[in-house]
Amino acid sequence: MRIYSWNVNGIRAIAKKNFFSWIDEEKPDILCVQETKLQEADLNEKLKNIDGYYSYFSFAERKGYSGVATYSKVKPVSCSHGFGIEKFDCEGRVLETEFEDFTLLNIYFPNGQKDDERLKYKMDFYDAFLNYANDLVKSGKKLIICGDYNIAHTEMDIKNAKANSDTSGFLPIERQWIDKYIENGYYDTYRYINPEEVQYSWWSYRFKARERNTGWRIDYHFVSKNLIDKVKDAKILTDVTGSDHCPIMVEIE
């Protein structure tokens, strides 16, 4: 099973570009989309009913902001939204779909670059998420957690590490949280399969960053320890355009 994740930076915008043709060509078994910037009233039939897929959406209360969507060829056993914490759930950042062999969390983690208050919100979100994920694992669930994490973990995952050492997304406190996440028994599937590979999944729209490959790897598929032996491949599809992010893929046996 191939599970893809893609921050599309506006699903209505990318729908006018290559979104549907890319799905037709790539044929993901499951596609998790972040930053849909969509309200339920904006959801048209073409986006809701892609041929061969069940679709699920989580919407932010704020218009044109955040939002995630999950498309799956296999109908999940159940679908739920959020962590049960209102200050996070109101931003439409989390979709949880339960399948027979695993639980999939599609998450658009907050960006902390606005100010200190927003950075605190971001770190509180990470801690709430980790507590939630740990409780799922303790209950016997096998987790795949994908999305835009808004953190580059190591210097391998960012083009200009020194220049960005004081930038949210590469702050020590954020990188240390990824360390803690891994210590709690979660695996970065791309790094598990490609320990020495240097690739990025996001490039600024400024300064011709993508042309120069001045990027960050901030999109991930993590899995819980009880699922790592099922991971067969992990890729970053850097050739796919249409957003400031590119899709990523993990293959699960």
Q: Which of 192, 213, 193 is CA-nearest to residue 202?
A: 213
In angstroms, the Cα distances linking 189 to 16, 47, 176, 186, 252 are 31, 29, 18, 9, 10
Task: Give the distance between the most distant pair of CA atoms in the chain.
Answer: 47
Catalytic positions are 148
CB within 8 A of 194, min separation 6: which ones?
A: 234
* Strand ranges (E), 118-230: 143-148, 186-188, 202-203, 215-216, 219-224
Angle, helix 172-183 to helix 116-138, in steps of 10 degrees: 0
Contact predicate 198/158, CB 8 Å: no
165 neighbors 241 (Cβ within 8 angstroms): no
Cα 231 to the center of its chain, rounded Å: 17
Instruction: Identify which of 251, 11, 36, 27 has the alpha carbon closest to the alpha carbon of residue 144.
Output: 251
Provide Rg for the chain, Cα atoms.
17
